[in-house]
Structure 1
Amino acid sequence: MKKCNVRITSKHFHELHHALGYPWPEEIMGETYRNHFATDAGSDTADCMRASPHWTGGTEKFGMTFFHVTQDGKRALLEHMRDSVDLPARFEITYHGHNWREIVAARSRSAAKYGAYLDADSGDTFGEFVRRIKSVRLLSRAQIGGAA
């Protein structure tokens, strides 16, 4: 699935999300695309990470310190995203004559079609592309921070 590209205003939680590769909330507790954050060893960021239970103590390599998100950090990020982050709806788009589907995050069905069109880079006009769409199905509703 594509990255969960959302706005997280808290620097701490943004860094946790970045370190894990921008997962969707249901992916946070599992195996993620990545799990590391690199920063200068003597930086304020490194000092904050060393003091936090959300990060490992850090290992130095190549003149940088690499931190990894702990299980406590994953749980805290998941809770923060559920409580404070606006998540767009996700739509499944299938195409006539194709055996594959695409998942698109968008605010509406029409925005999902347009997002798929931008991702496709097919050379078709938008109208031609839309005619190839077989269905647009809502997979998950948008969640506004603070709503369950």
Structure 2
Amino acid sequence: MARPARLDLDGFKQVNDTLGHPAGDRVLVEAAGALRAAVRAGDLPARLGGDEFAVLLADVRDEREAVAVADRIIAGIVARVASSGCPVRVGASAGVVVRTPGLDDETMFRLADAALYRSKAAGKGRVELHVAA
């Protein structure tokens, strides 16, 4: 069963504000590379705009597996941006929703977005799971 995940970079605004947009662009390239490296065959990653990304997690057996993939993406972004020499700490937060029959794609994405913002409110650098009823 597929599950949508939403990700935002933590600390990205500080990169643009202190180091400039060319540095921000390099961070986005590193984050996208980490995202591509962390997803599995069949997953569909995408940049939505700015520092916002989404992944359609394909063939996920359960919530633990979905959270594990999102955790791996977050860890990959942190490590890859840090190793690029960026002096600003950049991380990521994620929201994952469990696909429930009857919910349309727009609702699923909105719920993943809400889970993402709960993740940021809870301290960033983490995954929040939304189980749709």
TM-score (norm 2): 0.28
Structure number with the bigger relative contact order (C-alpha 8 A, sep ≥ 6) is 2
- TM-score, normalisation: structure 1: 0.26
Between structure 1 and structure 2, the one with the greater Rg is 1
Higher share of residues assigned helix: 2
